[in-house]
Structure 1
Amino acid sequence: IGLDPVDSTQRMTFDQVNLYDGHSISAVAIGCLALGSVVEQMFDLRRGSVETTEVKQAEGEGATTLPIGEFLSHWKTIGRSALVGSGVGMLPGLGVTLAAFLSYGAAKRASPEPESFGKGNPQGIIATEAANSAVVGANLVPTIALGVPGNIAAALLIGAFIIHGIVPGPFMMTMHGDLIYALFASMLMANGVHLLIGKLGIPIWSLVAKTPKSVILPPVLILCIVGVYLPGQSLFDVGIMLAFAGVGLAMRRTGFPVVCLVIGFLLGGMLETSLRQSLLLHKSDLSAMLGSPIALVFIVLTLVVLFRAFRRS
């Protein structure tokens, strides 16, 4: 959608000046992920608000702290789950859900009491949360090295890089090495800060978790609209967000992954520009591009991943 990046030909603009530069990526992402989820939860709340409130009140009871001794006693589970999460995070598109399931299964198989999982065994929670946390940092490997986001946060990070004129990829370490090391250092410091804030703020966070959705969802809805409107002060972007909120809601209801759609929109522009430049460089000869050893390696890896995914399904 918009003008061709090479010869400025109009594609799917429908005589709309607002579409000459393409659609707003933030409107698509917020519409599919945030607003679509808000609308879905509003429907769920309307159908079962009483049951939801009772469950939240029951879940709010009990202790809100974890002794440090008990935390350290599960170091094997933490280490195993961290390795699983790191491995999953380095593979684009798998996400935290797969890491959580894999680490949970590994912890259950290694436990002397597997029947206690799902009935209050803390190792189940520790395994899933450790894997989730490990995925976040490992996602930076394909993001920085290949320019391929592993999740939405990494995709938004790529978008921020592009806005500042930095193209993620194999040459990013040599051209912007100071930025990469600063990013690594900030992540190391963030771990300590997160631990401190999380430990001190447990009583507060538990109160927030018990806040009814009927109170939380309206402000989130307003923030979605304001967040899309303010950058360009365009009601057209708000309309795009509303349209993709409907798309995201429909995909959730039918079981399709919304994240894949958003990543497609984020990478589509980069893919098209690189493809057009390669075609011009090789005079529209696809064999010259596909015959490269590096390209063949990535093609084989892609086919292997797709084959294993279809085999599991």
Structure 2
Amino acid sequence: MSAKTVCILGGTGFVGQHLLGRLGRAGWHCLVPTRRPHRHRELKLLEQLTLEPVTALDRVTLDELLPGCTAVVNLIGILNEDGRSTFERVHVELVRELTAAATAAGVPRLIQMSALNADAERGASAYLRSKGAGEALAHRAEGLQVTSVRPSVIFGRGDSFFNRFASLLELTPGVFPLACPQARFAPVWVGDVCEAIARALEDPQTIGQRYDLCGPRVFSLEELVAQTAHWIGRRRLLIGLNDRASRWQAELFERLPGKPFTMDNYHSMQIPSTCGKHAGLLELGIHPSDIETIVPTYLR
């Protein structure tokens, strides 16, 4: 392996695919485990990349993957539970297995992807409590130099936020009912998130730190959806649902295939996904990018 080899868990996902290019340009060799390498053949075009086929992501597999690595980035996360993919398994147990395997293999460095408002005890939702528990586990691991990044909603080419609302707006004629319209977000560009991870990997002063990552402006969900409709050229009447109707929609939608909106999502959205005084990007020397300069380039 290269003198700088990083194992990226979740490297074939939205953030991961953007991160691969950034780290490859910085001289890192990226080791990316995947259950479905045939779906990601295009990644083989990237230099400094090894796609490693795996049947599962557990302690046995991690023990085989990590020897020789100089760092690990854990990007794996889910927004909703589905069968065996529970918050406890993905956000907590996997981190426990990862930190144990990394310690056994002598891997010194870990970057943990967490979330704004993650808190094992006081998190507003099961998602945020599990993210907080995983983050705490990572930072307690002996022998590991850990940095956490805690982004607001992430946008960029291939995202599941603006693209998802654009698709829903295309399919919905005339009136668009919107749950939790006053939920607050500070959307952060995926390129800035990847830059933060890359700088954290190289800077020993970031060890032990937890960085809240936000874009430069705060929006309500209603403002973001209205702006999305404008960018794709669709005139829609947005009907912001009150709290009772929002809960009703969540209870209904979590029974649908794919769970487009759940009660746990509803609970997460009761807390503003904003950074307040702790602007992690600026602390890392990164000037955050605005949605106006990025989103129209891929929605149109």
TM-score for both structures, normalised by structure 1: 0.23
- Higher relative contact order by CA 8 Å / sep ≥ 6: 1 or 2? 1
Higher helix share: 1
Larger Rg: 1
